[in-house]
């Protein structure tokens, strides 16, 4: 009988030991995967750069059915400030500053200030030297629409003026006269519209710089004194301590063998 009890207890001990090992391995795998997930989230910068890209294009973020949001292209292309080339060129600069290597760096306050100064200087130089291609140019169709709208406004003003004077306004004649007047200066008016639109877009430059400066400065600050990699290291250490902690199974006092009690 004692021999049977001994074999039964040994079998139970083997099963318990195997269960504990499997549980420990499962826990270690879970902690490793959880650690990878947290590290990837901490170092993920693609969503930041995606937001910058859409903001530069002045896309609109719309929330659809089910609360799912997505970026939609701006409906009125005339409202766009930067050209496609301008957006791509600025994004090249952003890629250089906003990346995993930057997050895992170790910068002092003086280094961050110097990097920010260089970043802003690069953007200013880019605008100064290539503003004609950096900002979106008003194309022929857009100029045409603007000019026709102006003619319509002039016609309304002319008719209103004649109405005040008590004169009978011939809308067709007024429209024809305005078109003939515009025909003589059409090329000049086209160039004037393009220049006005360019100046209007240049006024957006200060806001664009301010937004990009905040984005880059926030990224660099995460690398202040190696804080980002320090945070990852601390989390890894805690995970290792938890994963290496020996598991304990509820056992009776004296071990698995009841006769070993003193």
Profile the chain (262 residues) by mean pLDDT over runs of 10 residues. 57 59 53 47 76 90 81 84 92 89 85 92 88 87 84 80 77 77 78 86 85 88 70 51 49 44 44
Cα 65 from Cα 136, distance rounded (Å) = 33
Q: Which pLDDT belongs to residue 132?
A: 85
Structure confidence at residue 257 (pLDDT) = 41
pLDDT at 7: 61
Given 3-state DSSP classes, what are the helix, strand and coil percentages for the chain, each rounded to the nearest 5?
75, 5, 20
pLDDT value of residue 30: 45
Q: Give the pLDDT of residue 116.
A: 92
Alpha carbons 137 and 134: distance in angstroms, whole number: 9
Q: Is 66 exposed, middle or buried (0-12, 13-18, 19+ CB in 10 A)?
A: exposed
The predicted model scores a pTM of 0.63
């Amino acid at each position: 009988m004692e021999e049977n009890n001994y074999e039964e207890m040994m079998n139970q001990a083997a099963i318990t030991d195997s269960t504990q090992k499997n549980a420990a391995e499962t826990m270690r795998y879970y902690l490793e995967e959880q650690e990878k997930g947290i590290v990837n989230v901490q170092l993920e910068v693609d969503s930041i750069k995606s937001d910058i890209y859409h903001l530069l294009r002045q896309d609109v973020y719309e929330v659809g059915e089910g609360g799912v949001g997505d970026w939609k292209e701006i409906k009125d292309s005339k409202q766009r400030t930067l050209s496609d080339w301008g957006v791509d060129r600025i994004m090249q600069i952003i890629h250089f500053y906003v990346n995993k290597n930057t997050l895992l760096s170790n910068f002092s306050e003086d280094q961050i200030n110097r990097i920010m100064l260089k970043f802003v200087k690069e953007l200013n130089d880019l605008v100064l030297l290539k503003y004609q291609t950096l900002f979106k140019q008003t194309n022929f169709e857009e100029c045409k629409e603007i000019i026709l709208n102006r003619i319509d406004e002039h016609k309304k003003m002319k008719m209103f003026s004649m109405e005040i004077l008590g004169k009978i306004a011939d809308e067709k004649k007024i429209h024809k006269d305005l078109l003939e007047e515009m025909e003589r200066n059409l090329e000049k008016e086209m160039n004037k519209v393009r220049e006005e639109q360019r100046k209007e877009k240049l006024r957006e430059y200060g806001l664009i710089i301010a937004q990009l400066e905040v984005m880059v400065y926030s990224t660099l600050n995460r690398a202040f004194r190696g804080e980002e990699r320090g945070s990852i290291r601390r989390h890894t250490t805690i995970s290792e301590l938890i994963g290496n902690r020996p598991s304990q199974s509820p056992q009776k006092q004296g071990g698995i063998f009841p006769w070993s009690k003193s």
